Amino acid sequence: MRVSSSVFASFCLIFELFGLALFLRGFFPVPVKSSFSSKSKLSDLPAEPLAGNGPNASKVPPPLFKRVVIVLIDALREDFVFGPNGAKYMPYTRHLVERGSTHSFVAKARAPTVTMPRIKALTTGSIPGFIDVVMNLNSPALYEDNLLWQAKTAGKRIIFYGDDTWVRLFPKHFLEYDGTTSFFVSDYTEVDNNVTRHLDSTLKRDDWDMLILHYLGLDHIGHISGPHSSLVGPKLLEMDDVLKKIHAALISRETEGSLPNLLVLCGDHGMSETGSHGGSSDPEINTPLVLISPAFKRKVGMEKPSVVEQVDLAPTLLLSLGLPISQNSVGRLIAPVFEGTPLREQLRYLHLNGHQLSCLLRDSTVEYQKEEGYELFRVAEKSHGSWMKLYLEGNTSEVLGNMGRKVLRQYLEALRAMSAALSRQMGKYDMYSMVVGTILLMQTLLLLLLAMPEALSGCAVVDVPVGTALGSLPFYLLCLLCGALHVALCTSAGSSCYFCALPWALVFAVIACSAALLCALVAMAARRLPPGSKSPTKSSSPGWELSELDVLLLAGTVGHTLSLGASSFVEEEHQSWYFLLNTLCLAVFQDVCRKYFRERRRRASQGGGPDSEDDEPLLPSCKENRPLPSIAPGDDPDSSPLAHLGVSRGSEKWLALATPPLTLACCRLLRSLNQTGVQWAHLPDLSHWLNRGTVEARFVYVFVLGILFTGAKDLLRSQLVSAEARLRSRGLWEVYSGVVLLVALLLRAHNLPTLAACLLVQSLMAQFIWKRLHYDAAQTTIMHYWFGQAFFYFQGNSNNIATVDISVGFVGLESYVEAPAIFLTALSTYAGPLLWACHLVCYLSSERDRSSVALGHGCYCFALLRSVPAVFYVLLVTVLRYHLFIWSVFSPKLLYEAMHTLVTALICIFFTFMDQSPPSSRA
């Protein structure tokens, strides 16, 4: 089957997307869960350990608190409360922390630090899967055992106001609720007023047992202007007043003889130095946790907060309310909360927590008995039984107290070890789905590599032996073998597998496609081998001559791909692209000097004219045997591209020489615009200065005036200069202009210089470098790809999810609409690669001296450039799946690679559409 290069490349990327999706589904593990589908019940709790045959006391300790109020402030960093400015911006809260009846902690959240997974962690005590970062946009109902389900089952009445993510996660759990849209980040005032307006009436009522408030304003301010914005201080003061009001109301309703109330102040995640979140930096994972209740001892001064895990809050609240711990919780009790209770009750609380963790460990680990925490728990449980025996016998000696405190320490150590073991596991990889996805990806990459000579040939047509493969005996044998292997694996697998759960028709289609690809690969490889012992000659297989630029582009692409094997290079990937781009500019500058100086002198000495070098390509790899299209009278292909502006050929030479240094200067300036990555992200950059309101406005005005001037100039030229233009080329440039205007609308004001520099570099490189040096389509495509990658980081992006600017998803929208918000966010994030890809299509289509297969070559090169790092990275994360930084560094990069592959597939489909134009439009 013969297909064009663009169709072939698009098909390969689509097939690659399916393999990548299957790999992602297997790689991001399902969180550790108990094998029991039912929820925990009070009747299922174990009895107190007791040595001997005495009657077991199965009594559950009574609840410690009557009412609980949870105030969750989205994106509340721990330094906002415990830091130097805490006393200034949250004075009442800081007073309680230093002098009140409180316990203060730094609660560490786990990546991904986005709202929905953090709410799951706070309510279930489990560590959500990393893929929940995608589900954060549309949170489904949570059916897992959790704090709210246990409280509702026990008859407790729950009221909620705030982020409507809670309403979607816990439908029918609330006696009363009022949700607010969490993604409309431009609103940081009404979104909190809508919560606070209910407080006065609700705090006076007696018909509730649990009140949950989720404030979003601080998070929205962070997304808009960062943690150091002048808006942060007033917002924290507002939150401090809310906490003061709630605390005063709870104290006023305390009655003698009844249980005390509990007020909890916490954050779901922190905020990075840029105001976003999602990653694993300290400002994003460190959140304050302040527990306020008359049951606690009053503090006498500021103490350094202890460090706990965010998942520890769920089991602590559940047991303090007299409820069983949720089955899938990996948290451990926060011991200071229970230190005021009798020693017997403290040991009982710890025993219940240890029993729950040991059951979860037993369900999720085959060799659980060899786990250190499980052995420590058994030892502590046995010691607890001995202590209970002495206690029930009425022993009141000091030995009993010392023994009890020893058992307490044993329990705490066992809980720490079991919780750490479960947290490390996080889930189970679906290796079968990962392997199938990897095989599909590798087959696609090999297919692209084997098709390179045909895809980049003069006709740009690839002969894929599909018919031969489908009619061969090995194809049917492979289908039978893979089908049998699939049945054997799925019937013998001890755990659930996503690929096994797919419909059989879809599985068979995947197996058939994979077998056909393998047969086609063998056929294409055999076709590339010389017949017999005869080696291929230039007549049968024309060789490729690599120039210095070709070697640089090849070495740079391969070197960048290999650099992804180091976590530091993943975190600071922008530095790799900055280095490659600078090197490319120097290499281009060398080519320009060779064209205008060395080659001029050489040709002049051979008797040629001083300008004869403009008549043919100079670079060895660019001398294509292609017919030049017919040229209309008056259209001299050798005329200067700026002749209509009155620029002489001599001036054009100096402009060409100035283009690479000017590009280098622009890139250096853009590097200073947005500090990205991890190591130096905290350093000040130009965006901090440009974010001041008046400067922002001036940049917007200047940029808009520049667009108006450019448009007016083009209109005047179209009216005063008579020139024929092909309809397709004009339409492409109009589409490109529309994309530029949309990107200008979405980018933050301080990033508008990035867009202006992008347009400037594109214009200079097109007029003076690519056109005058006659670079071929493959070289031009690789350069566009490199520039697109570099401008992705010039925008301030990184391989950290926290740098995704979700605020652009609401430009022009009055409320949150999911599809447009996702589209606008993706467009803004990948604006750099998209602009350079669109420019490539326009440039290759509008060049009169380009071969008619240039678009096909460009599409193929784009597909290959994306496939090589994607497949390499999939193999890499499979090998490093137990690496220390797999969730903090490598997993976010994997999501970026998948999204970038999707964007590239869409670009290649657009290439294919433009490449299918009739031949008359190519002229």
Burial class (CB in 10 A: 0-12, 13-18, 19+), 854: buried
pLDDT of residue 913: 83
Q: Are 544 and 538 in contact (CB under 8 A)?
A: no
Helical (H) or strand (E) element with 897: helix 891-915
pLDDT of residue 501: 82
Closest Cα partner for 310 from 150, 519, 76, 139?
Answer: 76
Cis peptide before 112 (omega within 30 of 0): yes
Q: Which residues pair with 215 in a beta bridge?
A: 73
Average pLDDT rounded to a whole number, residues 29-48 = 68
Q: Are 60 and 45 in contact (CB under 8 A)?
A: yes
Alpha-carbon 110 to chain mean position: 14
Residue 562 pLDDT exceeds 50: yes
Average pLDDT rounded to a whole number, residues 124-135 = 71
pLDDT of residue 642: 45
Give ∠ CA 434-438-441 in degrees, rounded to 5. 145
Q: Compute the distance between CA of residue 390 and CA of residue 399 in angstroms, rounded to an integer.
A: 10
Q: Are 333 and 350 in contact (CB under 8 A)?
A: yes
In eight-state DSSP terms, residue 813 is: -
Q: Compute the distance between CA of residue 202 and CA of residue 174 in angstroms, rounded to an integer.
A: 14
Q: Render pLDDT for 423-478 as a digit per residue (tens, 0 to 9).
A: 876 656 788 899 999 999 999 999 999 999 899 888 888 988 888 888 888 899 99
3-class secondary structure, 105: strand
Instruction: Of 79-83, 154-158, 604-608, 745-749, give the lowest mean pLDDT range.
Output: 604-608
Residue 727 pLDDT exceeds 60: no
Average pLDDT rounded to a whole number, residues 713-729 = 47
How does residue 497 score in pLDDT terms, banded at 50, 70 and 90? confident
Residue 618 pLDDT exceeds 50: no
Q: Which two tokens stand for residue 530?
A: 């010389």
Residue 481 pLDDT exceeds 90: yes
* C-alpha distance from residue 176 to each of 208, 211, 261, 653 (Å): 9, 10, 20, 74
pLDDT of residue 435: 93
Cβ-proximal residues to 446 (8 Å cutoff; 6+ apart), any chain? 521
pTM, two decimals, is 0.70
Cβ-proximal residues to 606 (8 Å cutoff; 6+ apart), any chain? none
Q: What is the DSSP string of 156-218?
A: --EEEEEETHHHHHSTT--SEEEEE-SS-TT-SSHHHHHHHTTHHHHHT--S-SEEEEEE-HH
pLDDT of residue 679: 66
Q: Please state whether beta strands 210-215 and 158-163 pair in parallel, antiparallel, or not at all (unpaired).
A: parallel
Helical (H) or strand (E) element with 453: helix 452-455
Determine what percent of the chain falls in helix, strand and coil, rounding each to the nearest 5: 60, 5, 35
Instruction: Of 197-206, 280-289, 802-811, 866-875, give the lowest mean pLDDT range.
Output: 802-811
Residue 722 pLDDT exceeds 70: no
Residue 182 pLDDT exceeds 80: no
Alpha-carbon 243 to chain mean position: 34
**Encoded amino acid at 84, one letter:** P
Residue 720 pLDDT exceeds 50: no
pLDDT of residue 630: 40
**Encoded amino acid at 571, one letter:** E
How does residue 38 score in pLDDT terms, banded at 50, 70 and 90? low
pLDDT of residue 129: 67
Cβ-proximal residues to 769 (8 Å cutoff; 6+ apart), any chain? 588, 592, 656, 659, 660, 775
Residue 75 pLDDT exceeds 50: yes
Q: Compute the distance between CA of residue 618 and CA of residue 628 in angstroms, rounded to an integer.
A: 17
Q: Which two tokens stand for residue 581?
A: 């781009």
Residue 603 pLDDT exceeds 70: no
How does residue 787 score in pLDDT terms, banded at 50, 70 and 90? very high
Share of the chain above pLDDT 90, in %: 41
Burial class (CB in 10 A: 0-12, 13-18, 19+), 115: buried
310 phi and psi, to 5 degrees?
-60, -30
CA neighbours closer than 13 Å in the CB half-sphere of residue 276: 20
Q: Are 520 and 463 in contact (CB under 8 A)?
A: no
Closest Cα partner for 10 from 903, 912, 918?
Answer: 912
Average pLDDT rounded to a whole number, residues 262-275 = 91
Q: Compute the distance between CA of residue 557 and CA of residue 539 in angstroms, rounded to an integer.
A: 30
Q: Are 580 and 786 in contact (CB under 8 A)?
A: yes
The larger pLDDT score, comparing residue 120 to residue 141, is at: 120
Q: Render pLDDT for 276-314 as a digit per residue (tens, 0 to 9).
A: 887 778 899 999 999 999 999 888 777 889 999 999 999
Q: Please state whether beta strands 286-292 and 102-108 pair in parallel, antiparallel, or not at all (unpaired).
A: antiparallel
Q: Are 237 and 89 in contact (CB under 8 A)?
A: yes
Q: Are 55 and 250 in contact (CB under 8 A)?
A: no
Closest Cα partner for 899 from 855, 834, 836, 838?
Answer: 834
Q: Are 84 and 279 in contact (CB under 8 A)?
A: no
Q: Which two tokens stand for residue 168?
A: 């979607």
Give ∠ CA 671-677-678 in degrees, rounded to 5. 135
pLDDT of residue 635: 42
pLDDT of residue 371: 85
pLDDT of residue 636: 42
In eight-state DSSP terms, residue 742 is: H
How does residue 51 score in pLDDT terms, banded at 50, 70 and 90? low
Q: Are 12 and 867 in contact (CB under 8 A)?
A: yes
Residue 69 pLDDT exceeds 80: yes
Burial class (CB in 10 A: 0-12, 13-18, 19+), 709: exposed
Angular region, 287: left φ>0, alpha ψ -120 to 50, beta rest:
beta
Mean pLDDT of the chain: 81
Instruction: Of 65-79, 151-165, 465-479, give the lowest mean pLDDT range.
Output: 465-479
Residue 616 pLDDT exceeds 60: no
Share of the chain above pLDDT 70, in %: 80
pLDDT of residue 607: 55
pLDDT of residue 730: 67
Q: Compute the distance between CA of residue 650 and CA of residue 647 in angstroms, rounded to an integer.
A: 8
Per-residue b/e over 409-441, b at no fewer than 16 CB within 10 Å?
A: ebbbbbbebbbebbbebbbebbbbbbbbbbbbb
How does residue 716 score in pLDDT terms, banded at 50, 70 and 90? very low
36-40, 363-367, 903-907: which has the highest mean pLDDT? Answer: 903-907
pLDDT of residue 859: 93
Q: Compute the distance between CA of residue 498 and CA of residue 104 in angstroms, rounded to an integer.
A: 43
Q: What is the DSSP string of 250-269?
A: HHHT--TTSPPPEEEEE-S-
Give ∠ CA 807-808-810 in degrees, rounded to 5. 80
Q: Which residues pair with 288 in a beta bridge?
A: 106
110-124, 190-204, 487-501, 630-644: which has the highest mean pLDDT? Answer: 190-204
